[in-house]
Amino acid sequence: MMRSWPVIAAMVLALGGLSALAGYEMAPPRAAQWREIGWPFPRDGWPAGRAFRCGTAECGTEVEVYLRSKLGFCNCDSGVADDDEVDRVADVDMISPRFVPLKAGDIVRVADMPGRIRVYDLDGHRTAIGIAVSHRCDLMAVAAQGRGDAAAVRRATLKFLESREIRASMIAAMEGR
């Protein structure tokens, strides 16, 4: 019995290591380059949301993304209907009151919710992205800003929103959990 103890201990350690490795490999990927920061905006009529930052080394440009749900704040029949609605509800005005659309917006789908996305110039040096998507009568507002070109900021923002962790968080927020 004493001779088999080291063999049993080695087997237990090996199995534990393999289990840990399998758990790591099976875990959903995180948006590791993004880190959560404090909500930077003053209180308004809606609860504070979540804010995230990604550095230039990881995202190609520094980008900050702000998202929050606005429950009961969307047209139950048509959802997010047009660019004017994105301008009003996507919280880009919280980043800067002077935002200028660069072009007409596009239809987008985020976390299986339909809506619209629009790109803005803030001050000639920063780009903002406004996204408004809906689920039933509820709205998810997403605003992002970065110093890179508009395509890079948009690409980084959409890639972040597609991550499993953020999709799950957005869906849970829209369901009031």
18 pLDDT higher than 60: no
pLDDT band, very low/low/confident/very high, at 60 (cuts 50, 70, 90): confident
19 pLDDT higher than 70: no
Q: What percent of the chain has pLDDT over 90?
A: 59
pLDDT band, very low/low/confident/very high, at 161 (cuts 50, 70, 90): very high
Q: Between 36 and 32, whose confidence is greater?
A: 36
Q: What's the CA gap between 83 and 86, in Å, rounded?
A: 5
Residue type (1 letter), 135: H
30 pLDDT higher than 60: no
CATH of domain 34-174: 3.40.1000
User: Using CB atoms within 10 A of its CB, is residue 4 exposed (0-12), middle (13-18) or buried (19+)?
Assistant: exposed
Q: Between 77 and 12, whose confidence is greater?
A: 77
Find, among 131, 127, 109, 136, the residue nearest to 60 by Cα. 127
Q: What's the CA gap between 133 and 163, in Å, rounded?
A: 16
User: Which pLDDT score is estimated for 6?
Assistant: 55
Side-chain half-sphere CA neighbours of 152 within 13 A: 17
Q: What's the CA gap between 33 and 58, in Å, rounded?
A: 6
Please compute the mean of the pLDDT values over residues 82-88 and round it to a whole number.
93
CB 131 within 8 A of CB 83: no
Can you say whether residue 166 is alpha, beta or left, with left for phi > 0 and alpha for psi between -120 and 50 degrees?
A: alpha
The model carries a pTM of: 0.79
* Token digits of residue 36: 């959560």
pLDDT band, very low/low/confident/very high, at 137 (cuts 50, 70, 90): confident
User: Which pLDDT score is estimated for 4?
Assistant: 60
Looking at every residue in the chain, the average pLDDT score rounds to 84
* Token digits of residue 101: 């659309």
- Beta-carbon contacts of 3 under 8 Å, excluding residues fewer than 6 positions away, are none
